[in-house]
Amino acid sequence: ATYLLFLPINYIGHRKITWNSNTPKRFEATCFLIAHGFTLFACAAIMEITTNTLNMSHWIGSMTIVVVAPILNLLMFDLWVFRRI
């Protein structure tokens, strides 16, 4: 619930500060939500694979997510969400 509560603040901060974007807001907001949904799905998949499929410790899954999620977000935000039109 807290994650969803702060998502609009996250979007505004990235739009105005990180990328200084001038892309139409409707397009960006939709893509931003889709990107976050994809990242959540990817994190759940990583945890499922590392713990249940590979029978590794949940710490391995968590550490993998700590590395993969920010890289995934950066790529999606830079190449798709806040792209320069």
The full DSSP string for 27-63 is HHHHHHHHHHHHHHHHHHHHHHIIIIIS---HHHHHH
Residues 49 and 71: their CA atoms lie apart, in Å, by: 19
82, 23 Cβ separation under 8 angstroms: yes
**Is the pLDDT score of 84 beyond 80?**
no
Convert the pLDDT of each residue in 25-41 to its tens digit.
888 999 999 999 999 99
Does residue 77 have a pLDDT over 80?
Answer: yes
